[in-house]
Amino acid sequence: MTAEPETTAVPSLDDLLADSPSNWGKWGDDDEVGSLNYLGPEQVLAAVGLVRQGKVFTLQRLIGDPKGDPVWPGRTPAERTQILDESTWDSPDAPQYPGGLHYADDKINAFLQGSTQYDGLGHVWYGGKIWNGFDARTTVGGLDKASVEPIAQRGVVGRYVLLDMARFRGKPTLDKGETFTHQDLLECAAAQGVEIRKRDILVLRTNFLQLFFEQGEAFYEGFNEPGLVYSPELVQWFQDMEIPNLVTDTIANEVTTDPNNGVALVLHNALMRNLGVTLTEIADLEALADDSAEDGQYEGLYVAAPLKVHKGSGSPVNPVVLK
């Protein structure tokens, strides 16, 4: 008789993160923006002082890209529909306006997290509780608590540090399932000649989505993005550094399935649900990364405000960085 192969049980997030640090209640029982509270006037003014060249970069990926829109498996790309255009006035039933005005109009059908976007802090949870201890039942029918709306109302402004992990590792893109730690971030920063400081907005480049544009649907086979990998030490580092916002160019910010424990999206829970770290995904960092490699400036001013969507679990955004 052939012995059955050993299988390792995947732990629950309740067990895995039982001793993980938490910021629940730190900014009051009603807080819905979490670690963005670390970004105040002092951080804003310091970041403004880093604008020395007048360079401007936008980080949103194109919605409706003819080459395709990378989205989380199970989601569909945005569909834009033309409602009015010049051909509308070929019909005698077309709307008529004094003076002869014609115009174009269109609409979009899209997942709110189907492009470059911010997560609301209540987007992901375990154990029946979302950010700040709110009951997960508050998500039924839309997020009554910790939606993206409070983040959009507040806005995000601070010092960013670009950490180009792909260039640091000497490859055009990171590989499927490739991981890195906070120690790797520190080494990357040192190699780039930039310091990661408390309350920095971390911007991480993997260029993994280049493979989506090269491979098409084959990109989703064995889907497992590269990214940060969970450890208690990494979570404590985020806590000690008071990181408000993690921005990446992947669909879900972290290695999809943790190679050490088999759990999916651990850091969405350890960082966002527990610490209130805001997550920004699917950013287009290529122009910024190329320019930073050329001029050696990996820090600057980051400004972002997702669309204000009532009860939304996430919302599109076009972040702007200035150097």
Tens of pLDDT, residue by residue over 36-75, are 999 999 999 999 999 999 999 999 999 999 999 999 999 9
Q: Are residues 257 and 189 in the same domain?
A: yes
Smallest CA-to-CA distance from 317 within 163, 148, 161 is with: 148
My answer on whether 66 and 96 are in the same domain is no
Q: C-alpha distances in angstroms, 53 versus 45, 169, 197, 308?
A: 17, 28, 22, 31
Model pLDDT for residues 104-118, shown as the tens digit of each residue: 999 999 999 999 999
Whole-number Cα distances in Å, 233 to 94, 181, 241: 64, 9, 12
- Asked, for residue 29, whether it belongs to a domain, the answer is yes
Instruction: For residues 138 and 232, state if they share a domain.
Output: yes
- Whether residue 11 lies inside any domain: the answer is no
- 172 and 312 belong to one structural domain: yes
pLDDT tens for each residue of 242-294:
999 999 999 999 999 999 999 999 999 999 999 999 999 999 999 999 999 99
| pLDDT (tens digit per residue) in 177-208 | 999 999 999 999 999 999 999 999 999 999 99
| pTM for the model | 0.95
Structural domain range at position 56: 21-72+111-322
Are residue 104 and residue 116 in the same domain, yes or no?
A: no
- Domain tally, the chain: 2
Q: Is residue 6 part of a domain?
A: no
pLDDT score at 2: 43
- Asked if the model's pLDDT at residue 7 lies above 60, the reply is no
Q: Is residue 162 part of a domain?
A: yes
Based on the domain organization, do 174 and 117 belong to the same domain?
A: yes
